[in-house]
Amino acid sequence: MEVKLIEFSPHGDERGQLIALEELKEIPFNIRRVYYMYKTVPDAVRGKHAHRSLQQVLICTSGSCKVRLDDGKEKREVLLDKPWQGLYISNVLWREMYDFSPDAVLMVLASDYYDEADYIRNYDDFLSFVKEQTGEENGQ
């Protein structure tokens, strides 16, 4: 499972803190798209999909949320609650974001522009795609 927490370097003084992020430096890919979620209603689960090729870094800039990751064989849960920490998620990983605190702002940096064809929105289709990618369907 290609996932890792990235620690960013805060720069601050008596006025507060600042985090600077640059593509191919702190972020391990070219940034093509940025979006964020906020005012997420209680008990909401976001995501519930995988990507064929897209890579992402998730940063909870305020509050907290949890991320459930699944590569078809292994499952992992990550708590995001530090604005100086990002979660790198490679492609072909099912992701679900949930348990958002009322003040949560989850920012996502993506390696490419929005492309609906890159999404796998059905879990069974995701499992089939993983098997195809690993050659398990052909008995390899």
Q: How many domains does the chain divide into?
A: 1
Query: What is the CATH number for 98?
Result: 2.60.120.10
Q: How confident is the model at residue 133 (pLDDT cuts 50, 70, 90)?
A: confident
Over the Cα atoms of the chain, what is R_g? 16
**Whether 49 is catalytic:** yes
Which of 33, 48, 49, 68 does the annotation list as catalytic?
49
Closest CA to 8 of 75, 104, 127, 88: 88
pLDDT tens-digit profile of 45-69?
Answer: 999 999 999 999 999 999 999 999 9
Q: Which domain range does residue 56 map to?
A: 3-11+18-138
Report the C-alpha gap between 17 and 30 in whole angstroms.
25
Q: What is the pTM of this model?
A: 0.92
